[in-house]
Structure 1
Amino acid sequence: MLPVKQFQDFVAKHQLFAQGNKILLAVSGGKDSVLMLHLFKAIGVNIGVAHCNFNLRGDEAQRDELFVKMLAANFDLPFYITHFDTKKYAAENKISTQMAARDLRYNWFEEIRLAEGFDYVALAHHQNDGVETVLINLTRGTGISGLHGILPKRNHLIRPLLFLNRHEIDEIIHQMNFDFVEDSSNLSANYIRNKIRLKVIPHLQEINPHLEKTFAENAARFADIEMLLNFHVQALAEKILNPRSDGIYIALDEISKLNPQKLLLFELLKPYGFTESVIEQMLNHLHSSSGTHFFSSSHQAIINRAYLVIAAKNSNEIANQFIHPSTTHVLFGADTLKLSFSTVIEFESNPKKAFVNADKLIFPLILRHWQNGDKFAPLGMRQLKKVSDFFIDEKVPLHLKTTTPILVNGNGDIIWVAGMRQDNRYKLTAATKKVAIFELKNL
């Protein structure tokens, strides 16, 4: 018998979708997705069918595509099909074929969902898939999110078959005499998931015949624990993460108070891409001297006096920008430098502007990043001073030291530490006849 009541109860319990929602079903043609299609059809939901041909199994893949197309036609349902060059994508992105197929299909499902007005994408994962996912995560190393495995609902993805295991699905398909196609790659032990399915899980089922049910219950517990942790981390982030214009500041004293320290700091910094090993390095060097850096793929963390500062990675790859008399503005990283001239000899006290004696300029000027050994004469001083010492005196955060634009004259003199202080040698005097006005603006 088709388990319509259990299906409806599971959907209601996890609030997978609402009456009137439009659902896109990912249908491969196998038993799981075929059963899912029949269940959705039985409860009268507005659905469409999507099928991916990964071009990995030759004629068998063509057979699957034709089968799903005919199945959708028999139910008079909208049908969406795409073909992927999966091996090429995997090679270009240096990932496994399975990971490539996963990326390709999820990206395409989201494209179809948005383009065709579907509210959710339904995937036919069941309890055994959940067991396999948890075991894979444990083998590779995982956090709490890996322990709960596959969730019934995440954003626009729903998995309404997680109330069934593989044996139950097989029984239903047999009883209902539903047609389906078999993916021969499921019998191959070349893939990690298949190795666990074929060689590991049978031994675990000897110990616990109700393995799938036990894992499902455990997954629910871990999902609740993750929810509790996320709630605590969110409250903690609001308390100790202090956003400023130049980054996120966290007092080192606050980090020292965290308990458990490594777990909470990892969760706090997870949005910035720091790995667990980098978090461990941070904690080991928490009381190191200022300037110690740590990196993720997108951000840097710097110990700056009494703070750990999180900021986007420096844009040090930006090339030097040349400025000519005809130049009106220059883009430099996240900033724009504007240049104009005036015969009105006026000075405005604004660190974002520099008013320079135009007659002393030797073009082209250069806009670049700070370099070791840079010196200038800060306005009001006659002696040269290292820019690095100037940064220290001005308490400039270390991560801004290498991103502050430096305006350089054609003779090599620094004209302006942009946004901070111009050079005394280029100030306006009673003899000045023309003013070059430089203005720094954030994009």
Structure 2
Amino acid sequence: MLPVIRFQDFIEQQQLFAMGNKILLAVSGGKDSVLMLHLFKALGVDIGVAHCNFNLRADEAQRDELFVKMLAFSLNLPFYVTHFDTKKYAAENKISTQMAARDLRYNWFEQIRADKGYDFIALAHHQNDAVETVLINLVRGTGISGLHGILPKRDKLIRPLLFLNREEINQLVEENKFDFVEDSSNLSSNYIRNKLRLHVIPHLQNINPNLENTFNQNIKRFAEIETFLNLQVKQIAKELIVKKADAVYISLEKIKLLTPQKLLLFELLKKYDFMESVVEEIINSLDKQSGIKFISTSHQATIDRENLIISKLNFEIHQHKIIHSNHSGFEFNDYKFQLIFSEDLKFETDKNKIFIDAGVLQFPLIVRSWQNGDKFIPLGMEGFKKLSDFFIDEKVPLHLKTNIPILVNGNGEIIWIAGMRQDNRYKLTKSTKKVAIFELKN
């Protein structure tokens, strides 16, 4: 007898899907996914079956594929299968085989879901999987989100077997005489999950025979704590974060008043991919000199005079562009330029346009980012000024300095800090015969 009522109750309690939805089932052929398939079939849901062959277990993988295919056909269900070169993908992306398999299958499941019109993807995780996930997260180090382990629903992924533990699944499969296939890799101690399952959890169950239910209750509490924390962080973000066109600004003084400081700042910054260890370094640097930078995979955080400034990493920052005399326009980072030559010696006062004595230009020119040691002679002055000092005087935020285009002559002299000031050496004079006009379009 299948626990269809409990299955339906769990789906409704967790609001996993509506009865009119189409569900794509990830079926490996093992006990868990086979039971899930039969529960969905008994409930009368519109379903399809998806199976991944990772080509990791030779003949056994082919056996699993054939089994799932025949099972789907026997139940008159749509069947989708794919084959992966998992080891090659892992080597190319420098990740573990397990992580490679995870990435490959989730990406493919989502592709099939979208292409074939399914509403959700059902995975056969159960309570013991949730226990193992929490333990793995604790061993590796985790935040609040890692303590709730596997959630019943996240985006398009649903896990409708989380109301059952492994013992219950084994009993149901045996009672209903369901055919299934065994994955021999589940007995290997090469994987951390298997080590916990085979060698650690049995000892914990000796201490607490009701381990799965205890963890299930703890997981619910941690999920509620995370929900509460997210609401608090959302409110704090409204008070602390100022979003501008160029970046996100957070007052240093307000950061210092956060309690608990590390937890809340980490929650504020994790959307920008900053790790907990980096957040700790930021906190330790709040009272140090301006200009200290911290890098995540996607952003940089700069401690400025009064703010922590979060800006997207510019991956072209160390590149440069070569400009030849026949170029009428060029781009650099997010800036567009126009170049024209004229024999009309008229001059306009416009910070986005400069009029240069073409006779002193040495092509090719270079447009690049600011570099340490850069100096120029600002228009109207006689002596050199460091660009770093110029930016300070102009109150240019530290994180923007490297984005401003610097136009450089073929002899290495700076011609123009685009949109701000040109060099005095390149102004028009009485001997000028031809003008080079550079215009910053945006």
TM over 0.5: yes
The one-letter code sitting in structure 1 at the alignment partner of 2:324 is H
Q: Residue 244 of structure 1: CA displacement?
A: 2.2
Q: 1:90 is matched with which residue? A: 90
Query: CA–CA distance in 1 between the matches of 2:384 and 2:405?
Result: 19
Query: Equivalent residue of 1:325, what SS?
Result: coil
Q: 1:303 is matched with which residue? A: 303
Query: CA–CA distance in 2 between the matches of 1:236 and 1:349?
Result: 45
- Over residues 66-95 of structure 1, what are the superposed CA-to-partner deviations in whole Å (9 max), with x where a residue is unaligned? 000001101111111011111122222222
Q: 2:72 is matched with which residue? A: 72
Q: Residue 429 of structure 1: CA displacement?
A: 5.4
Query: CA–CA distance in 2 between the matches of 1:342 and 1:18?
Result: 70
- Over residues 376-423 of structure 1, what are the superposed CA-to-partner deviations in whole Å (9 max), with x where a residue is unaligned? 222232333222211111111122223321101223331110121112
Q: 1:41 is matched with which residue? A: 41
Cα distance, 1:291–1:408 mapped onto 2, change above 3 Å: same
Q: 1:275 is matched with which residue? A: 275
- List aligned pairs for 1:16-35, cutoff 5 A: 16-35=16-35
Identity, % of aligned pairs?
68
- Over residues 324-345 of structure 1, what are the superposed CA-to-partner deviations in whole Å (9 max), with x where a residue is unaligned? 1210222322322222234554
Cα pair 1:24 1:47 within 8 Å, conserved: yes
Matched, 1:313 2:310: no
Query: CA–CA distance in 2 between the matches of 1:414 and 1:189?
Result: 63
Matched, 1:409 2:409: yes
Contiguous gaps of at least 5 residues in structure 2:
none
Q: 1:438 is matched with which residue? A: 438
Query: CA–CA distance in 1 between the matches of 2:110 and 2:357?
Result: 57
Query: Equivalent residue of 1:330, what SS?
Result: strand
Query: CA–CA distance in 2 between the matches of 1:422 and 1:264?
Result: 44
Q: 1:371 is matched with which residue? A: 371
Query: Equivalent residue of 1:438, what SS?
Result: strand
Query: CA–CA distance in 1 between the matches of 2:342 and 2:29?
Result: 74
Query: CA–CA distance in 1 between the matches of 2:386 and 2:393?
Result: 11
Cα pair 1:316 1:402 within 8 Å, conserved: no
Q: 2:196 is matched with which residue? A: 196
After alignment, is 266-275 or 145-154 more displaced?
266-275
Cα distance, 1:228–1:392 mapped onto 2, change above 3 Å: same
The one-letter code sitting in structure 2 at the alignment partner of 1:152 is P
- List aligned pairs for 1:233-244, cutoff 5 A: 233-244=233-244
Cα pair 1:316 1:403 within 8 Å, conserved: no
- Over residues 171-210 of structure 1, what are the superposed CA-to-partner deviations in whole Å (9 max), with x where a residue is unaligned? 1111111111111111122211011111111111122221
Cα distance, 1:189–1:256 mapped onto 2, change above 3 Å: same
Q: Give the alignment's Cα RMSD to 1 decimal.
A: 1.7
After alignment, is 260-269 or 292-301 more displaced?
292-301
Q: 1:391 is matched with which residue? A: 391
Query: CA–CA distance in 1 between the matches of 2:340 and 2:24?
Result: 57
- List aligned pairs for 1:324-363, cutoff 5 A: 324-363=324-363
Query: CA–CA distance in 2 between the matches of 1:248 and 1:37?
Result: 47
Cα pair 2:52 2:83 within 8 Å, conserved: yes
Q: 1:13 is matched with which residue? A: 13
The one-letter code sitting in structure 2 at the alignment partner of 1:62 is Q
Q: Residue 300 of structure 1: CA displacement?
A: 1.5
Cα pair 1:318 1:332 within 8 Å, conserved: no
After alignment, is 55-64 or 430-439 more displaced?
430-439
Cα pair 1:315 1:403 within 8 Å, conserved: no
**TM-score scaled by structure 1?**
0.95
Query: CA–CA distance in 2 between the matches of 1:358 and 1:300?
Result: 39
The one-letter code sitting in structure 1 at the alignment partner of 2:307 is Y
Aligned length: 442
Query: Equivalent residue of 2:39, what SS?
Result: helix
Query: Equivalent residue of 2:47, what SS?
Result: strand
Q: 2:119 is matched with which residue? A: 119
The one-letter code sitting in structure 2 at the alignment partner of 1:386 is K
Query: CA–CA distance in 2 between the matches of 1:338 and 1:10?
Result: 63
Query: CA–CA distance in 2 between the matches of 1:185 and 1:410?
Result: 63
The one-letter code sitting in structure 2 at the alignment partner of 1:176 is N
Query: Equivalent residue of 1:310, what SS?
Result: strand
The one-letter code sitting in structure 2 at the alignment partner of 1:20 is G
- Over residues 362-389 of structure 1, what are the superposed CA-to-partner deviations in whole Å (9 max), with x where a residue is unaligned? 2221112223332222223233322221
Query: CA–CA distance in 1 between the matches of 2:193 and 2:371?
Result: 52
Cα pair 2:317 2:402 within 8 Å, conserved: no
Q: Residue 251 of structure 1: CA displacement?
A: 1.0
Q: Residue 317 of structure 1: CA displacement?
A: 5.5
Query: CA–CA distance in 1 between the matches of 2:74 and 2:364?
Result: 72
Query: Equivalent residue of 1:402, what SS?
Result: helix
Contiguous gaps of at least 5 residues in structure 1:
none
Query: CA–CA distance in 2 between the matches of 1:214 and 1:285?
Result: 42
Cα pair 1:318 1:333 within 8 Å, conserved: no
Q: 1:107 is matched with which residue? A: 107
- Over residues 35-66 of structure 1, what are the superposed CA-to-partner deviations in whole Å (9 max), with x where a residue is unaligned? 11111111211111000011111111111100
